[in-house]
Structure 1
Amino acid sequence: MLEQLFGSATRVKLLRLFFSNPDQPYFVRELTRKLDQRINSIRQELKNLEQIGIVEQVDKNRKKYYTLRKDFPLYSELKSLMLKAQLMLEKDFVTSIEKIGQVRYLALTGIFMGRKEATTDMLVVGKVNRLKLKRLLHKFQEYFDKDINYTVMTTKEFEFRRELTDRFLYDVLENKKVVVIDKLPKPKKKK
């Protein structure tokens, strides 16, 4: 969608990366590796973005780095647009996951919530075709430009681990997350 709006897939990938890491400076070769794009394409789009004023070049240790300009007049609007585009993709992502099996619980955490230290980014509970899930995640990892660490459990395993107060499971349940699907029975109260 954004590629049509901005006219260049490389430009969109650059903007997405810069806005997801607004304080991070990048050098050209790093961008070519991260975004899996040709160096000339990256250079051309950086030149375009620099002329517009969205990014600026900073020299550090005899290397040219590019960083996002937070004082750019449309910074907030572009950031909002990138976030909304990501949310639309996440909605498609969730819809696709629902189709790969009988998902009883789905929680997005980790990279979806800005928690880089999380042990998993997604918890899927239910009867799921793992091969289809792996293929689906591969497709979406390209968009997020990050590996999505996921955990799949059967409903029985989830309930067992919840009953044991499993550290890993409670790290997911007690921290910042978005619960997208919750068709699990509520835990029984202990007497």
Structure 2
Amino acid sequence: MEILEKLFGTEARVKMLRLFLFNPEHAYGAEDIMNRAKVTGKEVKDQLAVFQKIGLIKSKQVTQEVAKKKGKKIVIKKRRVQGWFLDDSFPYLLALKNLLITVSMKTHEDIAKHFGPVGKIRAVIVSGIFIQDWESRVDLLIVADNLKPAALERAVKSLEAEIGKEIRYAAFETPDFQYRLGIYDKLIRDILDFPHRKVVDKIGIVH
């Protein structure tokens, strides 16, 4: 993050750049940006002004859900607020995306180590965001013996917080994966039939 802060000025700007660049299909209200990027209201206001000035984002009305407590019940209400979304005509989108990923991303080997606590790792395959393939449907495949769901969820959320994007992943116990591989399961083929990299392969995956 330190290198990016020096390049882009502030940590808040880096966080908000990631939010918009890595989630181009979403529009966010100011409160949503604060919660997701972990920045202050003033930082949101300042950075939105910069992003709009250079043509990186556009604004529109969005529906936002607000949780309010009434007695012992939580009531969800919807309201219309000003929102902002990525302008896909901005000329340097791909360059910015790749720069943010390249500078801040763990190495593929570090990603494999990151998931060490989730079970006895048998295979780790990276694709999508981890190889700068923005059209991929899946970013990460984990195969393990004695897979620990809670540890897996913690590892995924930790990595998502680090890179600023929701990770599209699949995780399987080894026998389940081998069965799916044998019947040409669509999800498995969506990974193996498109650009990817095997970081760990103790199974001998043939595709």
Specify the TM-score bucket, using the shorter chain as the normaliser. Answer: 0.5 to 0.7
SS of corresponding position for 1:107: strand
Q: Is the contact between residue 122 and residue 201 of structure 2 (CA under 8 Å) also seen in structure 1?
A: yes
Q: How many correspondences in the alignment?
A: 181
SS of corresponding position for 1:12: helix
Residue correspondence of structure 1 range 19-98 to structure 2 within 5 A: 19-20=21-22, 28-29=30-31, 31-47=33-49, 54-55=54-55, 65=84, 70=90, 78-88=96-106, 92-98=110-116
Q: Whose strand proportion is higher, 1 or 2?
A: 2
2:14 corresponds in structure 1 to 12
**Distance in 2 of aligned mates of 1:101 and 1:19:** 32
1:164 corresponds in structure 2 to 183
1:134 corresponds in structure 2 to 153
1:114 corresponds in structure 2 to 134
Q: Percent identity?
A: 23
Residue correspondence of structure 1 range 142-161 to structure 2 within 5 A: 142-161=161-180
Task: Compute the RMSD of aligned alpha carbons.
Answer: 3.8
Q: Whose helix proportion is higher, 1 or 2?
A: 1
Q: Is the contact between residue 56 and residue 90 of structure 2 (CA under 8 Å) also seen in structure 1?
A: no
Which of 183, 194, 204 pairs up with 1:175?
A: 194
In structure 2, stretches of 5+ residues that fail to align are: 62-81
SS of corresponding position for 1:148: coil
Give the Å deviation of 1:47. 3.9
CA 1:38–1:162: 2 relative to 1, 3 Å: same
Q: Is the contact between residue 180 and residue 188 of structure 2 (CA under 8 Å) also seen in structure 1?
A: yes
**Distance in 1 of aligned mates of 2:99 and 2:139:** 23
In structure 1, stretches of 5+ residues that fail to align are: none
**Distance in 2 of aligned mates of 1:133 and 1:23:** 26
**Distance in 2 of aligned mates of 1:98 and 1:85:** 23
SS of corresponding position for 2:204: coil
SS of corresponding position for 1:124: strand
**Distance in 2 of aligned mates of 1:8 and 1:125:** 38
CA 1:38–1:89: 2 relative to 1, 3 Å: farther
Q: Is the contact between residue 105 and residue 181 of structure 1 (CA under 8 Å) also seen in structure 2?
A: yes
Give the Å deviation of 1:13. 0.6
Give the Å deviation of 1:54. 4.7
